[in-house]
Every structure is written in C-alpha cells, then in structure tokens.
A and B are shown apart, each in its own frame.
Chain A
Amino acid sequence: MSQRTHWSEFFISAVIRVIGFSTIGFVGLIFFFLLQQGAPVLGEVPLNNFFGAQWYPTYNLYGILPLLLGSMMVTLAAIVLALPLGVATAVFVREIAPGWAREILKPLIEVLAGIPSVVLGFFGMTLLAPFVRETLHVPTGLTAFTGALLLAYMALPTIVSVAEDALDAVPKSYRDAALAMGATQWQTIWRVVVPAARSGILTAIMLGMGRAIGETMAVLMVTGNAARMPTTLNSLFLPARTMTATIAAEMGEVAQGSTHYHVLFAIGILLFVLTFFINLAAAPAIFEKRRRGGLR
C-alpha cells in the first residue's frame, strides 16, 4: 500500500516536473528556431545596411534603425502616459475606495485586459486618429502618439493590478504608524505606502512595458507604419513604424528562405532579446518580494 503511494507520488511529481521544465524548454526551442531562421542575415546583409536608416525591403534596403527607434518611442510614450494613471488608479482602488467600490472596480479593470487588440485598433483608426489630428493640428492622426495612447490603455490593467498587489503587500502597521504620528491620509499614501511599494510598482512598469513593446495589431492599425527616422522632437506626433507591425505586415507575403524572410526573423530575435531584458529588469523586484514573504 505504502509502496503504491510512493510510486504514484513519484509519478505525479515527475509529471509536474516535466511540465514545468517543458515551459522553459519551449522558450529555448523558440529562441533556437528564431536564431536558426534569422542567423543567415549575418552573411546576407552588410551590417551598415542592416543598421541603416532606410527600410525598403523590396529594394534590398534592410535598415532596422527606424523600426527599432519607432518601437522604443511608442513604448516609452505609452509607459509615460500609463504610469501616473495606473499608479493613481491602484492607489484609489486599494487605499481610498470603500470596500464595495473596490469589489466592483477590481474585476472591471481586469475586463479591460480582455478587450481584443484588433477592436481597440479599429476604435483607434476610426475615432481616435481623427480626434488626434483635429485637436493637435497634425497632418495625420495615424501617429506614434495615437499608438502610444492605445498601448497605454492596454498596459493599464497590467500596471493597475500589479501595483495594487504591491500596495496590498504593505503591512497595515506602516499605515497605522504614519496616521498615529499625525500624518494625513494623503501624506500616509504619498510618503509611506507608495515608497514602501516602489519595487512592486517598478515591476508593474516593466511588465506594462513588456506588454506594450510586443503589441502588434492595434499598433499596425494606428501608427501609420512609415519607416521614418524619429530624429526631431515632433516625431512623436508623426507616423512611425514598429518592429512588431513590420513583422506582422510583411511576414505573410514574403518568400520563404529569402533575405527579407531572414531579416524579419532577425527583427524577431531583437524583440525577443528586448523583452527578455525588460523582464530581467523586473526580476529583482519580484524576487525581493518573494524573499520577504510579501512584506516590505
């Protein structure tokens, strides 16, 4: 009897272990596949072409610089827009809203994450873009800024729920101590609770950024996809082309095994590496939280 328990337990834990490791294995396999498909670029495209400023793949100009800068510009702008909103929402939900309001708000915010990006993209294309063009007096509403607005909206649920968890993990004694020393509720939140949760909030930013840089469909629909170099300050309010949109728009029609095909995979590698580093940057904050058992 005990032998059987032993065996079944061994079996179950082995299965769980295999499943757990297979996730990592799949990531490894995906990266290996990306490398295998993207590596031939090194032999096919000279480096000064690959890191050039001109993206005309049909005419053998594979400069990824405008795409890389386009992605970074849209993502950073999105985070700048989403961060104050996200943290403020988290503070309101966790610290200020009465219990019944929190019960309604939390699931509602999570519903935001479930809106398909193509629906948001359509909304952006037909409503947001004309609004941006008319209010900002820019030539077209299909700009990096329009994309950043949509991405900010998409990154919000991630930022709010992670930041809210971080605020939740701040011990009640901190608040009690601050209030006992005569601090107002605002002083308690701004000087004590938010600073105590800052590593969790940093994680929220990083995860939101990871969400934003990888987003494709909405960006493809509203940023205008012009592969221009964002060299001037007003570039944020002009069209841009991101790496994800480029892969999505061009992969479907490209001849397999061609130079263009390999370049698109190389862009995929770059995206993979970027998101990897963003997540890596978020990792210390996550591990710190775990070490302290959720208290800080």
Chain B
Amino acid sequence: MSKHRLEGCTLRGLGVLLLLANVLLGCRANFPAPSSLATDSQKSQTIENKGSDTMVNLALAWAEAYMKLHPDVRLSVTGGGSGTGIAAMINGTVDIANASREMKPEEIDAAKKNGHAPTEFIVARDAIAVVAHPSNPVNGLTLQQLSDIYTGKITNWRELGGADRPIVLLSRESNSGTYVYFLENVIRLGDSQSQLLFSPETLLMPSSEGISTEIRQNPNAIGYDGLGYVTPDQKMLGVARDSHSEFVLPSVDTVNAGTYPIARPLYMYTAREPTGQVKAYLDWVMGEGQALIPELGFVPLH
C-alpha cells in the first residue's frame, strides 16, 4: 500500500522475526513469559519493548544495533500504539513501553495501583514540519495562522502575503498520531476545551509519499509531516509561536533549543527505576544510541 505503511509492515514483520529468533535461539524455560525483574542477574535476557507506531522503526534500529554489540541480550520490539504499550507495561508484560505522548494521570494511577512506580525517559524528539511548494513566496506562519488555515478560516494564500491562489490543505489520515498531535497542539492551540476540527475540505493522504507528491507538484498546497519525511524538493515554512516571535525553521538545533513550536518528545517508560540489563540498554539508548536517530528522521537529544 503506501510506502510508509509498507515500511511499518516490514519492520513489524521484522519484529515478529526477532520474536521467532527468540524462540529458536534463546529458547529457555522462561519463554514466552516476559522477563521479570528477577532475571536481571541472568546472563542472557529478553527485554520486551512495545508501544508507539511512530517509534517502532527507531526502536527496532536501536534493538538491532544493541544486540550486535551485546549478543547476550535479546530485545523484542512490537508496535501497537502508545496506549497499548503503556497498558502492557502497567500489566507487567513488557519491560519498556514506547510512547509518543506522556502518560496520562489515570494511567499513572493504574500503574501505582499495580505496585509500579513508572519512570519516564525522553529518548528522542520529533519535529513536525509545515511544508509548501518550493515556488511559494510565503516563508513563515504563526500558530494562529496555521490554525485558521486548517479550520478553513483562511482560504487564500493572498491573506498570508502570498500569491492569489486557493489554499489546498493536506493532512495525514486521521488514525495517525501526527494527525492527533497537530489537531490538539496546532489547530486547537493546546486548548483542551476547544472543539475545533480540521476543515472538511482537508485532503487526507494515505501516506507521507502522498503528501510529498502533491506538495511537489501543486503550488496551492500546504501540508505537515514528521521532519524525517520532508524531502529537499519541498519548502519548509518557518513557524512562530505568536505574532511577536520570530519564524523558526525546524532543525535539530531549534528543536533542542525549544524555539521550534511544533515538536514533541518521544518517551520510553519502565515500570520502576530500571536495573541491570534494562538500565544498561536505556543508558546506551540515551548515550551512543542517539547517533542512530538522525538516519530515521528524528531529532536526537544532544
């Protein structure tokens, strides 16, 4: 199907393969029961890692690289969504949950009820870039303008200092985490009481490839996507927090400096303060593992 989804599938397929490899190579009495914390002292251990679909490629890349360095450790990575991963961590079936959002208060309560003390690690950042056709004279937009554009209040580029052209809105499909993030933090400007929605005129593209194809050929179009999916033949627009601030282009530096307004941290959660192999893995992810992040289109922490 779509390029993006296909990749997800192959990688998820890889995840299954990794799991199979676990069965074949690391077949121990403790399989398929996930490693409990009691096995930390054991030489060979399986670390179960589950959650966000946005992060599944990244988590797999980390797992593969780490297993090459430490053949005695086995990592199994699966997607399913941030909520699924956190729920599994609360139920004690995974060691590390991946999440592209923070744990909700009710999830923390549920974890505490199960005797856990969830520990949060920010492992990478993800910037959402706003893109347009290279010939578009508009260089930057404020968050308020973006909200007005995507709710259908502003319908012509002229109102933004551009040519007299209608604006064609592009978005990812509604099941994408990026769609939800963009709606809640850009269209609704982070206001949880807001009932604003995407304009019904918004084109929902089934893939990142769909967005980049249309952006490349249509001078009327505006779109948004993860920084890693922006190709050089699209024009990234600067984004300003409000009309008094400067327009900032997304990059590793501006995201880390906190000046680019549409960026979100990516998290890993453990049920308690990690020890042993899990701690070693998380330390590696936040240390050497950061070098792998730019290849996958995310922003490393440092």
Contact = CB atoms under 8 A, between A and B. Distances in A.
Interface string A169-188: 00000000000000000000
Contact of B206 (A57, A58, A139, A220): A220
A contact face: mostly helix, strand, loop, or mixed = mixed
A239 B173 contact: no
Interface centre among B180, B200, B202 (most CB of A within 10 A): B200
A225 B197 contact: no
B135 to A, nearest CB: 14
B205 A254 contact: no
A61 B183 CA distance: 15
Interface of A: 54-59, 61, 66, 125-126, 129-130, 133, 139-142, 217, 220-221, 224-229, 238-239, 241, 248-250, 252-254
A253 B165 CA distance: 35
B204 A129 contact: no
Interface stretch (B91-99, B211-219, B289-297): B211-219
16 contacts: A56-B174, A56-B197, A58-B175, A61-B197, A125-B213, A126-B217, A129-B217, A130-B217, A139-B220, A217-B1, A220-B206, A225-B203, A225-B204, A225-B205, A226-B203, A250-B173
Contacts of B260: none
B213 A126 contact: yes
Contacts of A129: 214, 217
Contact of B204 (A133, A249, A252): A249
Interface string B110-133: 000000000000000000000000
Contacts of B165: 139
A221 B210 contact: yes
B168 interface: yes
Contacts of A225: 173, 203-206
Interface of B: 1, 5, 53, 165-168, 173-176, 179-180, 197-198, 200-206, 210, 213-214, 217-218, 220-221
A63 B242 CA distance: 35
B160 to A, nearest CB: 15
Given A130-B218, A250-B174, 9 more contacts: A56-B198, A58-B175, A139-B166, A140-B218, A141-B217, A220-B206, A224-B204, A225-B173, A249-B206
A31 B201 CA distance: 33
Contacts of B203: 140, 142, 224-226, 239
B contact face: mostly helix, strand, loop, or mixed = loop
A57 B202 contact: no
Contacts of A126: 213, 217
A228 B200 contact: yes
Contacts of B174: 56-58, 250
Interface centre among A57, A226, A229, A238 (most CB of B within 10 A): A226
A129 B180 CA distance: 28
B293 to A, nearest CB: 24
B168 A125 contact: no
A126 B217 CA distance: 8
A224 B201 CA distance: 9
Contact of B173 (A133, A142, A249): A249
Contacts of B180: 58
A252 B217 contact: no
Nearest to A56: B197
A261 to B, nearest CB: 11
Contact of A142 (B1, B175, B200, B214): B214
Contact of B220 (A140, A224, A229): A140
A221 B202 CA distance: 15
Contacts of A252: 1, 5, 175
B195 to A, nearest CB: 9
A141 B218 contact: yes
Given A125-B210, A140-B220, A225-B206, A54 B200 contact: yes
Nearest to A118: B1
A263 to B, nearest CB: 12
Nearest to A141: B218
Contacts of B168: 139-140
Nearest to A222: B210
Q: 6 shortest A-B CB distances, which residue pairs?
A: A253-B175, A224-B203, A139-B166, A228-B200, A140-B168, A225-B204
Interface centre among B53, B202, B203 (most CB of A within 10 A): B203
A58 B165 CA distance: 31
A217 B2 CA distance: 10
Nearest to A63: B200
Contacts of B217: 126, 129-130, 141
Contacts of A66: 200
B180 to A, nearest CB: 6
A140 B165 CA distance: 11
A171 B214 CA distance: 52
B197 A59 contact: yes
Nearest to A238: B201
